[in-house]
Structure 1
Amino acid sequence: MISFFVCLALLIGGFAVYGRVAEKSFGPDDRKPPALTMTDGSDYVPMGTARIFLIQLLNIAGLGPIFGALAGACWGPSVFLWITLGTLLGGGVHDYMVGMMSMRHKGASVSELAGTYLGSVMKQVMRVFSVVLLVLVGVTFSTGPANLLAMLTPQVLDAKFWLVVVLIYYFIATFVPIDKVIGKIYPIFGICLIIMALGVGGSILLGGYHIPEITLSNLHPNGTPIWPVMFISVACGAISGFHATQSPLMARCLTTEKDGRKVFYGAMVAEGIIALIWAAAGVAFYNGTGGLLTALGNGQSAVVYEICFTLLGPVGAVIAMIGVIACPISSADTAYRSARLTLADWFQYDQKPVKNRLILTIPLLGVGTVLTQIDVQIIWRYFSWSNQTLAMIALWAASVYLFRKKRLYWITALPATFMSAVSCTYILMADEGLRLSIAIAYPAGLIFAALCLGTFVFTCIMGKGKHADASSAEAPYVS
């Protein structure tokens, strides 16, 4: 249990300490952000910082820090270490840099930012990659909430009924002005999410459950290797490329750059705390990784429901389940919204007219509806890898940005290198990848990471980037 409290303290302290290091590395100033210079009543809408923080938290959280943390807990308390260090050194920096870069480029999506700093080829790759990832997120976070809602309602209101309701809501929330639905109800759901996490965590601590201490031993009952599978499975609870698609949404609403640390880095730390609580709850509630893995065989939604109902009772379980349901719904609708804006940036399609928004929204939701008929576990496996690959690319783009600004670029280059190794190693050995042996995948992943780092060093530090005009890093994105 001591390890749990140490990690919790590190997350809270890390926001104050390392968050300021990231902030100083970027250098926010008093310039007017796009929320004030490009207000359009639809996507560029000024909102208060506290409200934006809660929206950002719900946008990035989804089922990730809950389902991902429970999956990661199957390796034992070693997952506590990854959640903590991944959040502070990777995820928080990643979310903050992308959000702030977007503010400097008129709210540009991550694909446009990648193109600006990694080249036109990467821009095209990221445009396709981002839209596909966002639709997968929308699909994954459609079936999960529908299943949970079905558990709380009469049998006649089954998962199919709730799936239709959820998809109708996504359609509405994707194209209406961001302050009309998202800006009004997300802060309320954000409070539910926080209450849920505190309730589950408090019940574990006060209910006599045993939270084991951190060990680097692999405690997975099936012997599944920690590297790199655990780092892919946890995903949103430590670092997530999906967040890079969400930060630009709030970059279009934040009224001052100096609150960026509170919103972008702070929301990631809050998500890390939620993931830490659920990882501890999973391994403690089922008295070890064996019991947890067996329970997960009945579905992650069932595990969440059992933990909430047992620890908090009927009333507490309903409150907790509302948080768990709101979490993925909030991520999915903003995923579709981000996909719409990514396509709009791609084709330079003005989104102020309602008609233009509908022209992009309808086919996106149509594709998402069809994909909900596929086993969500299959979709999640591909999402997890593509998610971390997107984080890797976003971190390399941020590294180039910081280099051109003559800032501390190693704060992003080191986690970018780490995530390069994770993503490459996983896709080489995974069932949905090339299924190569560890003897090949491990060294190949390390070589790929070294090549990425070497390319960055040669291109930026020793090559043409050496003479780059620092002011070019702030050249506005031209839509």
Structure 2
Amino acid sequence: MSALLIMVASFAGYLLMYKLYGRFIGEKIFKLSGTSSAPSVSMEDGIDYVPTNKEVIFGHHFTSIAGTGPIVGPAVAIIWGWVPALIWVFVGSIFMGAVHDFGSLIISMRNQGKSIADYTAKYVNNRTKFLFFILVFLELWIVIAIFGLVIAVVFAMYPAAVLPVWFEIPIAVYLGYLIYQKGKGIVLWSIIAVVAMYVTVAIGAYLPITMPDVAGIPATGVWTILLLIYAFIASTLPVTTLLQPRDFINSHQLLVAMALLIAGVFASAFSGNLEIVAPAVQMSPAQAPPMWPFLFITIACGAISGFHSLVSSGTSSKQVRSETDSLFVGYGSMLMEGSLATLVIIAVAAGIGMGYTTKTGETLTGIAAWSTHYSSWAAAAGLGSKVAAFVNGAANMIAATGISFKIALVVMGVFVASFAGTTLDTATRIQRYIISELFTSVRMDFLTGKYIATFIAVITALALAFATGAGGKGALKLWPLFGAVNQTLAALALIIITVYLKGRGGIKWVVAGIPSVFMVFMTIWALVLNQTKFGTQHNLLLQTVNAIILVIAVWISIEGTLKFFSINGEIEDLETEDLELTSVDGDAS
């Protein structure tokens, strides 16, 4: 099948389903109201709760949920073939991921912007709430620790990306100053900011920066420390200072990157150089786990990801200005991520065949290029391998438009690193919310302040990162668990959404109920297989943590099921309970 046809058909499908299924979900299932007061308005504090234009918050939400997820997942799952990867991304994003993200967002907005872990107590019970807190803390703990390393690895692979990624910060701060302090027009000045960022991209291509070892700490460790310091600062600033303007720049960067990729697909296809070289289906790749259920665990972002529920009910629900904006932000962002994942699949299934340089310096094309890079699961699964497959394949396609391959590499390297940076400090901010909510619920208010909660989030991640030495690679010890943790969280979030909808009467719950059953089955299946594998490897750490996750998944599934069947068919107003209006930092609002 033509890569061009795949892209056009997929994009048309996403647009059509947004207009049909998305609007049906918003209008008929969740009954969005333009008159309901959003928490960003009723609890505005100028720091976390800030009513925001939907295009701006779309930029934040999308760049936060995306990160490197829709890149690394498809880039390794292609080893089972491009057909199952594409089907899962398309179907999953429309009927599972978008429902999951949008449902988590709107329920949080109807509960003062509280996290999904916190409002679980309201819709199920307190036991479930604390189990959810454990799972969420574990996921964010790994994310914060690993993403410092992810960015460090990208910087090592593409040193030309270092300068533009760091220069984006002062550009974003100045953009925020102009818009929020000086009242300048957001469209014009955001375009100027993006142009300024791409000027630094061009400069970076000729001024690559390589981090040396410092005081015996390898470059990856140094970058991890610097990035976690940055995450602490960025996640405690008001969202209008850095988070919103930077993510608005990143959303423009996304549009530029996707436009270049789309142009590259057209140019490569019309020149006859773009052929799909990956197998359509490959059920038993060398050393790979079984496609069922691990395809659905490996591709998370791009199809459905539990981390999205944390962004939806963490930062985004505190900034969406009205319920009617939530569909564009929550449902629309997921379909945009599906579109990005589709382009990634094309890049690693076809773009890589246009030219691939091996470690020995040999340049391969066609099936030989793909087969060499994806010779085994071990060869494809490493972080550097995943990123390189996408960046090189994308740069090949972009170069077909006449843009220098060298510049295309930098553009895509900056794109990956920028999105990873967004995920890093958004995850840190959300972890602060989680820590504050947890300590508020146990009446330890002295640990709920913005700075102390953020310090706890960062120092625990730092401890994990350096648990195995100065290289900052400690989180890799738990990384084999991340896919299962993340998809378990997605399954459990769908259970909460299902229970919420059951309480509103009728059969509305079906839109989340069917996806929740599918995801619960797949994730528990994967957890059981992992438990067996870790036992065979005599890996006590992974065995223990995986067992905890498995118990939590089964427990919450049972609690959610019991709650579901205890709700009668009549509409119950689950949103009228008296709630203490407490901000995430423990201060009265």
TM-score relative to the length of structure 1? 0.89
Answer yes or no: is 1:155 the counterpart of 2:210.
Answer: yes
Contact kept? 1:134, 1:339, Cα under 8 Å:
yes
Aligned length: 466
Q: Is contact 1:83–1:238 with CA below 8 Å preserved after alignment?
A: yes
Alpha-carbon separation, structure 2, partners of 1:17 and 1:449: 33
Counterpart of 1:10? 13
1:423 aligns with 2:523: yes
Matched, 1:299 2:385: yes
Report if aligned partners of 1:305, 1:321 keep a CA contact under 8 Å in 2: yes
Q: Do the aligned partners of 1:192 and 1:320 also contact (CA within 8 Å) in 2?
A: no
How far apart are 1:467 and its partner, in Å?
Answer: 6.6
Partner of 2:48: 43
User: Which residue of the other structure, out of 21, 26, 30, is the alignment partner of 2:30?
Assistant: 26
Distance 2:232 2:532 in 1: 31
List aligned pairs for 1:253-292, cutoff 5 A: 253-284=319-350, 285-286=352-353, 287=366, 290-292=371-373
Counterparts in 2 of 1:422 and 1:335: CA distance versus 1, 3 Å? same
Query: 2:63 matched to 1:53?
Result: no
Aligned match of 1:241: 306
Distance 2:155 2:22 in 1: 37
Alignment correspondent of 1:167: 228
The AA in structure 2 aligned to 1:247 is S
Q: Which secondary structure does the structure 2 equivalent of 1:228 belong to?
A: helix
CA shift at 1:353, angstroms? Answer: 12
Q: Which amino acid aligns with 1:27?
A: K
What amino acid is aligned across from residue 46 of structure 1 in structure 2?
P
Deviates more, 1:221-230 or 1:400-409: 221-230
Shift of 1:363: 2.0
Q: Deviations over 1:424-477 (max 9, x none)?
A: 1001112686669xxxxxxxxxxx99999898676535xx31177611245364
More deviation, 76-85/137-146:
137-146
Q: Which residue of 2 aligns with 1:475?
A: 577
1:364 maps to which residue? 457
Q: Is the CA contact (8 Å cut-off) linking 1:308 and 1:320 kept in structure 2?
A: yes
CA distance in 2, matches of 1:358, 1:455: 35
Q: Residues 21-420 of structure 1: matches in 2 within 5 Å? A: 21-23=24-26, 24-29=28-33, 30-77=35-82, 78-150=84-156, 151-152=158-159, 153-157=208-212, 158-207=219-268, 208-211=273-276, 215=280, 218=283, 220-222=285-287, 224-248=289-313, 249-284=315-350, 285-286=352-353, 287=366, 290-294=371-375, 296=380, 299-312=385-398, 313-348=405-440, 356-372=449-465, 373-374=472-473, 376-406=475-505, 408-420=508-520
Name the CA distance, whole Å, in 2 between partners of 1:409 and 1:476: 24
Pick closer, same or farther for the CA change 1:354–1:348 going to 2, 3 Å. closer
Q: Tell me how far 1:383 sits from its aligned partner.
A: 1.3
- Following the alignment from structure 1 to structure 2, what is the Cα–Cα distance between the partners of residues 376 and 243? 20
CA distance in 2, matches of 1:91, 1:47: 24
- In structure 1, distance between residues paired with 2:102 and 2:25: 8
Q: Counterparts of 1:374 and 1:15 in 2: how far apart (Å)?
A: 40
Residue type of the alignment partner of 2:31: G
- Answer 1 or 2: which has greater helix percent: 1
The residue number in structure 2 matching 1:440 is: none
Compared CA separation, residues 449 and 359, structure 1 to 2 (3 A): closer
Moved more, 143-152 or 195-204: 195-204
Give the deviation of 1:184 after TM superposition.
1.5
Alignment check: 8 A CA contact 1:417 1:449 kept = no
1:219 positional shift: 6.3
Q: Supply the AA of the counterpart residue of 2:41.
A: L
**Alpha-carbon contact 1:97-1:398 (below 8 Å) kept:** yes
Following the alignment from structure 1 to structure 2, what is the Cα–Cα distance between the partners of residues 283 and 36? 46
| Shift of residue 162, structure 1, vs aligned partner | 2.9
Percentage of identical aligned residues: 24
> Cα–Cα, structure 1 residues 449 and 290, in superposed 2: closer, same or farther, change >3 Å?
farther
Q: TM-score, normalised by structure 2?
A: 0.73
Specify the code of the residue in structure 1 equivalent to 2:297. I
Contact 1:401 1:473 (C-alpha < 8 Å) held by counterparts: no
Contact preservation (8 Å) 1:427, 1:433? no
Match of 1:445 in 2: none
Please report how far the alpha carbon of residue 90 of structure 1 lies from its aligned counterpart in structure 2 after TM superposition.
0.4
Residue 13 of structure 1 and its aligned partner are, at CA, apart by 1.6
Which structure has the larger Rg over C-alpha atoms? 2
Please say if residues 81 and 214 of structure 1, whose CA atoms lie closer than 8 Å, have aligned partners that are also in contact: no
Change (3 A) 1:410 1:213: farther
Partners of 1:454 and 1:128 in 2: CA distance: 17
Q: What is the CA–CA distance in structure 2 between the aligned matches of 1:251 and 1:118, rounded to whole Å?
A: 21
Other structure's SS at 2:305 match: coil
Please list the CA deviations of residues 8-63 of structure 1 after superposition, one character each: whole Å capped at 9, or x if unmatched.
Answer: 32222211111112212111112111111101111111111100001000110111
Cα-to-partner distance string for 1:222-259 (whole Å, 9 max, x where unaligned)? 45321111110011121011011101211111111011
Secondary structure of 2:239's counterpart equals coil
Q: Could you say what secondary structure the match of 1:41 adopts?
A: coil
- 1:299-347 superposed Cα distances (whole Å, 9 cap, x missing partner): 3233344334444412222222221111111011111111111121222
Label 1:281 to 1:410 Cα distance change in 2 as closer, same or farther (>3 A). same
The 3 A distance-change label for structure 1 pair 449 and 60 is closer
The CA deviation at 1:270 is 0.7
Structure 1: runs of 5 or more not aligned: 437-447
Counterpart Cα distance in 2 of 1:457 and 1:318:
49
In structure 1, distance between residues paired with 2:125 and 2:296: 28
Contact 2:111-2:575 at 8 Å conserved across structures: no
> Per-residue deviation at 1:209?
1.7
Deviation by residue 1:98-155 (Cα, 9 ceiling, x = unmatched): 0000000000101012222121111010112111111211122211112212332333
Distance 1:432 1:280, change over 3 A: farther
